[in-house]
């Protein structure tokens, strides 16, 4: 089996903390797990390492990613691209592994994996531009995974596991930040509202396909204030690196139309009538962290902790070439795109305060 580098990826911290944060709410070990499994699709926020063996620059299997992440297991015992989700979380497992690049045990299969790929999106062009795994391919990997699950547990038990699993979908930000605003491929063809419609249509199609595969509870993560992310301030915010309002407007429009689409699906769009999609708003809390960071004890809200903090992410954020700030917890962002562990904790607290009762 492959083993992990001496650090664990920070970029998949959101799901890690979602799993941990259940402790203190409803989970009681004597009552068994809250869900049968956790199954994840999406981008870098929930990608624990599926990109590691791809011919792409979009990977973070190197220091300083994970420098603040603690685990009771020594690094050599942690599978590549897995991350801790303490047994007191959802009660499912300690580690949620990537589907690719690791030797999955029967227990791994029984309790879920992540198919997510950093920098993918609902626009079919997005994964092509950076050579990562499309959401359609993630679905095909799920079908393959289901076959392996049947081989381990049988058809009846497989159906029970999938029926009781929590599915998580997190994508869309890379479509706006990278494909639309950073490359010329879509902006010459679409204005912002029509591009948002393209993404919402892709998201609806994806949710229907996940539902048709047996998902009964799906948590759908909304888009953050894209224009206030450090890299987007640098690319679009001028010399003073202000929040770039067109990007934020695109995110707000996307979130509004996604919620309308989810409402339709939950009321009459799902042919089975048994799938519930829960929209998870992260725009509001991230906006608060960036605009009023001092309220939470943050002293730096516009730059990451890696290198200059203005543009470094994935391959550019490499401890061999750039330094990392001494006080990571003072920053909202770790690199120029992804929050720090402390910021993620606040985001996850907010998600659970608002959505736990309907998520599980």
Positions marked catalytic: 44, 335, 338
Q: Check if the beta carbon of residue 8 is closer than 8 Å to that of residue 62.
A: no
**Cα R_g (the chain), whole angstroms:** 19
Long-range contacts, 139-142 (Cβ 8 Å, 24+): 139/41, 139/206, 139/209, 139/210, 139/213, 141/99, 141/100, 141/115, 142/39, 142/41, 142/115, 142/213
- In the chain, DSSP assigns E strands to 38-42, 83-84, 95-96, 166-170, 217-221, 276-280
**Nearest CA to 178 among 111, 243, 229, 105?**
229
- Give the CB-side neighbour count of residue 350, counting CA atoms within 13 A: 18
**Nearest CA to 91 among 164, 177, 198, 152?**
164
Interatomic CA distance for residues 357 and 140, integer angstroms = 30
**Residue appearing with tokens 């299997």:** 61
């Amino acid at each position: 089996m492959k083993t992990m580098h001496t650090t664990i990826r920070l970029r998949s911290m959101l799901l890690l903390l979602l799993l941990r944060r259940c402790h203190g709410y409803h989970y009681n070990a004597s009552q068994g797990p809250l869900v049968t499994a956790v199954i994840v699709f999406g981008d870098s926020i929930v990608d624990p390492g599926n990109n590691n063996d791809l011919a792409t620059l979009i990977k973070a299997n190197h220091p300083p990613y994970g420098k603040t992440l603690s685990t009771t297991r020594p690094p050599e015992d942690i599978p590549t691209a897995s991350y801790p989700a303490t047994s007191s979380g959802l009660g499912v497992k300690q580690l949620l592994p990537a589907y690719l690049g690791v030797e999955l045990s029967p227990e791994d299969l029984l309790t879920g994996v992540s198919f997510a790929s950093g920098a993918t999106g609902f626009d079919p062009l997005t994964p092509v531009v950076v050579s990562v795994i499309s959401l359609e391919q993630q679905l095909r990997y799920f079908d393959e995974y289901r076959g392996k699950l049947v081989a381990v547990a049988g058809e009846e038990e497989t159906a029970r596991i999938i029926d009781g699993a929590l599915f998580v979908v997190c994508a869309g930000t890379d479509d706006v930040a990278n494909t639309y605003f950073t490359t010329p491929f879509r902006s010459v063809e679409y204005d912002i509202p029509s591009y948002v419609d393209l993404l919402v249509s892709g998201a609806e199609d994806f949710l229907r396909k996940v539902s048709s595969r047996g998902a009964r509870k799906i948590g759908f993560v909304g888009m953050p204030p894209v224009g206030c992310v450090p890299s987007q301030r640098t690319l679009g915010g001028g010399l003073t690196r202000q929040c770039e309002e067109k990007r934020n407007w695109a995110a707000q429009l996307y979130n509004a139309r996604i919620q309308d689409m989810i409402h339709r699906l939950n009321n009459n769009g799902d042919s089975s009538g048994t799938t519930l999609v829960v929209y998870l708003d992260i725009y509001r809390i991230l906006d608060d962290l960036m605009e009023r960071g001092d309220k939470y004890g943050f002293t730096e809200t516009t730059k990451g902790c890696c290198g200059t903090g203005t543009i470094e992410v994935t391959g550019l954020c490499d401890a061999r070439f750039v330094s990392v700030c001494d006080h990571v917890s003072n920053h909202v962002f770790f690199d120029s795109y992804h929050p720090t562990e402390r910021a993620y904790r606040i985001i996850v607290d907010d998600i659970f305060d608002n959505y736990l009762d309907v998520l599980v």
